[in-house]
Amino acid sequence: MKIAILPGDGIGTEIVEQAVRVLNVLDLRFESETALVGGAAYEAHGHPLPESTLNLAKAADAVLFGAVGDWKYDKLERALRPEQAILGLRKHLGLFANFRPALCYEQLTHASSLKPELVAGLDILIIRELTGDIYFGQPRGRRTAVDGHFPGAEEAFDTMRYSRPEIERIAHVAFQAARKRHKKVTSVDKANVLETFQFWKDVVTEVHAQYPDVELEHMYVDNAAMQLVRAPKKFDVVVTGNMFGDILSDEAAMLTGSIGMLPSASLDKNGKGLYEPSHGSAPDIAGKGVANPLATILSAAMMLRFSLNQGAAADRIESAVQAVLAAGLRTADIWSEGTQRVGTREMGDAVVASLAGKAIGKTITTKS
Ligand code: NAD
């Protein structure tokens, strides 16, 4: 097993360090190699995704990724901005299915902005298509309008498109994932307005014929956004396109209390994947040692389960995270009265201690 480790920028380096410590304590046999990506790679090599980093990611069985980006790169031309690294990796590795579980831990129900009874026990999985939709459709650009409400005015345009195979493969992924869960898929579209999403709905319905044991419901995206805050526990697997998935997965993230708790996986057709926390590089707290490393640690668990066939080790990490929360340890983003505030490293120490069978509290050296 070979893991490419790409910490990236901002809090990326701090949180990935903790995830690597957790992997190392598990006594698994794997090789790992670390490389620069994002703004850090731009500073060193003039490009956010240097060829050496891309080749390392291609050769590995899985990629553990931190986060990229910083406001200081906002003025760079788009192709050189740190965020292009993640788009490049998705494209070159053929990553088309983004898994974002939104799980509300019992101890954190009060950290959610919704009433505890709405989120207690929440366990939903958002599957976002990653390669198509309006984010990549051509043509796109700026021009002078020849028609519309203001002919002759400057305008910008993008193209929303999905091909049949793109929809079929993500639909199969969703139905197969639902089979391992509560056997329900909600396909989110905007078929009442958009041709692309009428086609999406038709193709998902056709694929469903191969999964009679799974329930399928269709929901318009505006209603899905509403239902996610009204009755989120009614969902099991949600499958949707690139743009709707981008928005809904962030909404679902907040149901669980903090984006610092949420892992994600982006998979290719063979199960190789890139694993990263759902959040960004958080420049506002970078270098302060306060970032929550649990989303990255849980991403490492997803990596063991999905790409490295180490489900038992993944279970152990998830149990250790539960134990640490049960012991009352909290980083600032999830802290509440009566719990113990710890930093990034101390949270990592605690997960490592739990995995090693040691008392969690004994490892804590800093309090605030
Ligand atoms: P962000 O996710 O980095 O931060 C949003 C808020 O959440 C901030 O207040 C931050 O402090 C907090 N936060 C995020 N992760 C946290 C953690 N682990 N623990 C505690 N608090 C945490 O989003 P943003 O501020 O919109 O973007 C910052 C940079 O990250 C931008 O350059 C953006 O382009 C980039 N970004 C990168 C990725 C990626 O690498 N996949 C994803 C999203 C944003």
Alpha carbon separation from 187 to 92, 116, 180, 228 (Å, rounded): 27, 26, 17, 13
Domain that includes residue 340, residue range: 1-96+269-368
What distance in Å separates the CA atoms of residue 197 and residue 132, rounded to the nearest whole number?
12
CB neighbours of 215 closer than 8 A, spacing ≥ 6? 183, 184, 185
Question: What mean pLDDT, rounded, does the chain reach?
Answer: 94
84 and 115 assigned to the same domain: no
114 and 263 assigned to the same domain: yes
Number of domains in the chain: 2
The reply to whether ligand 1 has any atom less than 6 angstroms from the CB of 281 is: yes
Residue nearest ligand 1's atom 11 by CA? 282
Given 210, 237, 267, which residue is the final one in a domain? 267
295 and 320 assigned to the same domain: yes
114 and 256 assigned to the same domain: yes
Residue in the block written with tokens 């490592």: 352
* Residues assigned a catalytic role: 135, 190, 222, 246, 250
Distance from the alpha carbon of residue 191 to the mean position of ligand 1, in angstroms: 32
- What is residue 57's three-state secondary structure? helix
159 and 127 assigned to the same domain: yes
Distance from the alpha carbon of residue 27 to the mean position of ligand 1, in angstroms: 31
Task: For residue range 262-321, list pLDDT tens digits in order.
Answer: 999 999 988 899 999 989 999 999 999 999 999 999 999 999 999 999 999 999 999 999
Contact 52, 35 (CB under 8 A): yes
pLDDT of res. 366: 43
Nearest to 333 by CA among 258, 242, 273: 258
27 and 85 assigned to the same domain: yes
pLDDT of res. 165: 97
**At residue 51, what are phi and psi to the nearest 5 degrees?**
-60, -40
Burial class (CB in 10 A: 0-12, 13-18, 19+), 113: exposed
214 and 257 assigned to the same domain: yes
Say yes or no to pLDDT of 7 above 80. Answer: yes
247 and 179 assigned to the same domain: yes
The reply to whether ligand 1 has any atom less than 6 angstroms from the CB of 186 is: no
Q: Which atom of ligand 1 is nearest to the CA of 279?
A: 2
Residue in the block written with tokens 């831990």: 105
Q: Where are the beta strands (DSSP E) in the chain?
A: 2-8, 31-34, 62-67, 97-103, 123-129, 141-144, 154-157, 184-189, 215-220, 237-240, 263-267, 273-277, 329-330, 340-341
pLDDT of res. 257: 77
Task: For residue range 205-248, list pLDDT tens digits in order.
Answer: 999 999 999 999 999 999 999 999 999 999 999 999 999 999 99
CA dihedral 167, 133, 102, 280 (to 10 degrees): 140
Specify the CATH number for the domain of residue 182: 3.40.718.10
118 and 201 assigned to the same domain: yes
Given 267, 301, 322, which residue is the final one in a domain? 267
Given 219, 251, 267, which residue is the final one in a domain? 267
- What is residue 3's three-state secondary structure? strand
The reply to whether ligand 1 has any atom less than 6 angstroms from the CB of 279 is: yes
253 and 341 assigned to the same domain: no
Residue nearest ligand 1's atom 6 by CA? 282
Residue nearest ligand 1's atom 38 by CA? 280
Return the amino acid letter for 31: E
Provide the percentage of residues in the chain whose pLDDT is more than 90: 84
Provide the percentage of residues in the chain whose pLDDT is more than 70: 98
Ligand 1 probe mutation, 65, 72, 247, 281, most atoms within 8 A of CB: 281
Residue in the block written with tokens 């719990």: 339
124 and 155 assigned to the same domain: yes
227 and 307 assigned to the same domain: no
Distance from the alpha carbon of residue 20 to the mean position of ligand 1, in angstroms: 20
Q: How many CA atoms lie within 13 A of 242 on its CB side?
A: 19
pTM as predicted: 0.89
Say yes or no to pLDDT of 362 above 60. Answer: no
Say yes or no to pLDDT of 367 above 50. Answer: no
Residue nearest ligand 1's atom 5 by CA? 282
